Structure 1
């Protein structure tokens, strides 16, 4: 049985695919779930799977990561607030290594201070994700 976090990730994936399709970019990009990051983890010395990866397709080379989206869902108060600090570090590292990266927040469980902090760190709330994606893929 899928969790609320899995449902959230699937909704985000669907929105990414919709924006790519509507912008006529389906031949250029492919969307994958649970993509093994070539960068590993910024915090722990081990592998890491990114919730959603947008890969650039090329006739000559293997598809390469273009955009990583980490999905953080929190229905009520809990441990996800602790986990978003690690997600911020992972996104920062991805960007330094040449892959656009953003953390998407969902649910009502993040407190106002945490949401404010996350938005100043470049996170995107699910309510604004479609507009963010449309602007990101504006070419």
Structure 2
């Protein structure tokens, strides 16, 4: 019997990075993209008048942003739920600037109504991430 600690936000981000690496390798794209964590966004923040760091960024060979993945983990009810709304707006803005951008959610702490809203807004639940990435990178 293991008393493992539940994942935290950084642990969840690392899990997302691992999944991205696996899919890129599986599809022969590991040399096409560089993966960066806590990557400064060239677009700044829509909501706050300051810079913004993206949890996971895939950069093309010229170092330009290609795909942003914001990671939101919620193990118990709390503030990450509120941050989802801001993350969705930031992702929309990234797409207006030509960078593919999505929010990946995980954990059991999101209320069912929030989970439904998130999925209808195009957010990706961690359980679908691998399949989503395979479809996204299909050539």
Q: What range describes the TM-score normalised by the shorter chain of this pair?
A: over 0.9
Of 21, 26, 32, which aligns to 2:25?
21
2:13: which partner in 1? 9
TM-score by length of 1: 0.94
Structure 1: give runs of 5+ residues left out of the alignment: none
Count, aligned residues: 133
Q: Aligned equivalents of 1:97 and 1:23: distance in 2?
A: 27
Q: Aligned equivalents of 2:11 and 2:32: distance in 1?
A: 26
Following superposition of structure 1 onto structure 2, how do residues 85-96 of structure 1 map, counting pairs within 5 Å?
85-96=85-96
Q: Aligned equivalents of 1:16 and 1:27: distance in 2?
A: 13
**Deviation of residue 111 (structure 1)?**
0.7
2:4: which partner in 1? none
Q: Aligned equivalents of 2:31 and 2:136: distance in 1?
A: 17
**Deviation of residue 81 (structure 1)?**
0.9
**Deviation of residue 77 (structure 1)?**
0.5
TM-score by length of 2: 0.94
2:100: which partner in 1? 100
2:110: which partner in 1? 110
Structure 2: give runs of 5+ residues left out of the alignment: 1-6
